[in-house]
Amino acid sequence: MHELPEVTLHSHDLDEAREIATRVLHPHKLSVIGDGAFGVALHIVSLGALSIGWLSYDTAMRIESTHPGYYQVNIPAAGPMMARCGSQEVVAGPGLGTVYTPDRPAEFTVPAPLLAMRIGQRELNHELALLLDRRPRKPVELGLGLDVSSGRGARWLALVQSLSADLADPKALIRQPMVAAPFAHSVLAGLLLASRHEYSDELAAPVAAVGQPTVRAAQAYMEANADKPLTVTDIAKATGVGVRGLQQGFHRAIDMSPMRYLRDVRLREAHRELRKADPTATTVGDVAAKWGFGHQGRFAAEYRRRYGCPPAETLRTTS
């Protein structure tokens, strides 16, 4: 199991909380505005360009912060959360998150636990360039309010919540590089597609699909590298095409996405390994994690649909 950088804090010391949160998130000022005594719980895990975790206080707080070089995304578990960034103001809650632009002063109240994400500005704009198939004219400026109540926003939030709920578990599969790297990539790309910004219309416009030779080349690349933490960006780069064109080409040629194809390849490889493994020395969880399946229950369900039996049964009847 590969350990990822993380910070856990439980404190009733305001200065300690400010110092540590400044170090792992952003420079900020904390002010108690509630009636209760101060207390904070913080757990943040770094996945490279993305740091993600939970932040909660024992009483209502006001936070004034800057975000040099990073976007900050907060999804409150309850509301209302008053938020301001530059000239924009919103009242956030479970269906409306907030996105703070780099290098711009922000202020918000915290009445409830927050799902918090820090995203590198350089990395997010690199992701945008890959989606656009060109260098953006200027860094993307996301709106302060992020609708996560329906549509793409809700699907993006479901993705984030699917693995962030397990962050406190030291054996969580998100700690595996095979899971962490594609997860972080999906969060960045999904945020760009779910948010409103000056490039939204261009991202929504149709693109030309790549041809079948490129699809076959991408398939061959995935077959040869299925044991690595691939993202769709890696696959597109390896075949010399854009991400959206590759996705369109896969849907046209084989009616599935590149990542769905990769998942099928990995499921096949997991099946092959389970058939050969020693059940006294190997577990289903070991094999699932090795092949990038971030949730053992979903892996077992997919496996049963494909092979007609649970993975544990295959492991027990190895030949």
Is the model's pLDDT at 280 over the cut of 70?
Answer: yes
Mean pLDDT calculated for residue range 312-319: 82
> What pLDDT is stored for residue 1 in this prediction?
36
CATH number, domain of 277, equals 1.10.10.60
The most confident of the ranges 16-30, 88-102, 176-190 is 88-102
In angstroms, how far is the first alpha carbon of the chain from the final one?
28
Is residue 74 one of the residues assigned to a domain? Answer: yes
How many alpha carbons lie under 13 Å from residue 55 in its C-beta half-sphere? 28
| Residues in contact with 298: Cβ distance below 8 Å, sequence separation at least 6, in sequence order | none
> What pLDDT is stored for residue 48 in this prediction?
81
Is the model's pLDDT at 319 over the cut of 70?
Answer: no
Q: Are residues 25 and 110 in the same domain?
A: yes
Is the model's pLDDT at 3 over the cut of 60?
Answer: no
Q: Are residues 290 and 268 in the same domain?
A: yes
Question: Which tens digit of pLDDT belongs to each residue from 59-105?
Answer: 999 999 988 999 999 999 988 999 999 899 999 998 999 999 998 99
> What pLDDT is stored for residue 89 in this prediction?
96
> What pLDDT is stored for residue 314 in this prediction?
93
Residue 285: burial class (beta carbons within 10 Å; 0-12, 13-18, 19+): middle
**What are the DSSP calls for 129-185, one per residue?**
HHHHTS--SS-----SEEE-SSHHHHHHHHHHHHHHTTTT-TT-GGGSHHHHHHHHH
Q: Are residues 136 and 276 in the same domain?
A: no
| Residues in contact with 96: Cβ distance below 8 Å, sequence separation at least 6, in sequence order | 79, 90, 145, 146, 147, 148, 149
Q: Are residues 65 and 162 in the same domain?
A: yes
Structural domains of the chain, count: 3
> What pLDDT is stored for residue 274 in this prediction?
95
- Our measurement of the distance from residue 208's CA atom to the centroid of its chain's CA atoms, rounded to an integer in Å, reads 27
Q: Are residues 165 and 299 in the same domain?
A: no
C-alpha 214/C-alpha 258 separation (Å) is 12
Is residue 91 one of the residues assigned to a domain? Answer: yes
C-alpha 48/C-alpha 229 separation (Å) is 13
The four Cα atoms 167, 171, 175, 179 give a dihedral, to 10 degrees, of -100
Structural domain containing residue 299: 261-316
How many alpha carbons lie under 13 Å from residue 279 in its C-beta half-sphere? 10
For residue 2, name the pLDDT band (cuts at 50, 70, 90): very low
Is residue 1 one of the residues assigned to a domain? Answer: no
Q: Are residues 21 and 113 in the same domain?
A: yes
Question: Which tens digit of pLDDT belongs to each residue from 204-254?
Answer: 888 899 999 999 999 999 999 999 989 998 999 999 998 999 999 999 999
Question: Which tens digit of pLDDT belongs to each residue from 103-124?
Answer: 899 999 988 899 999 999 999 9
Q: Are residues 132 and 279 in the same domain?
A: no
Round the average pLDDT of the chain to a whole number and report it: 90
Residue 235: burial class (beta carbons within 10 Å; 0-12, 13-18, 19+): buried
Is residue 199 one of the residues assigned to a domain? Answer: no
Q: Are residues 297 and 228 in the same domain?
A: no
- The continuous run of DSSP H or E covering 259 comes out as helix 258-276
The share of the chain scoring above pLDDT 70, in percent, equals: 95
| Residues in contact with 102: Cβ distance below 8 Å, sequence separation at least 6, in sequence order | 67, 68, 69, 70, 71, 121, 139
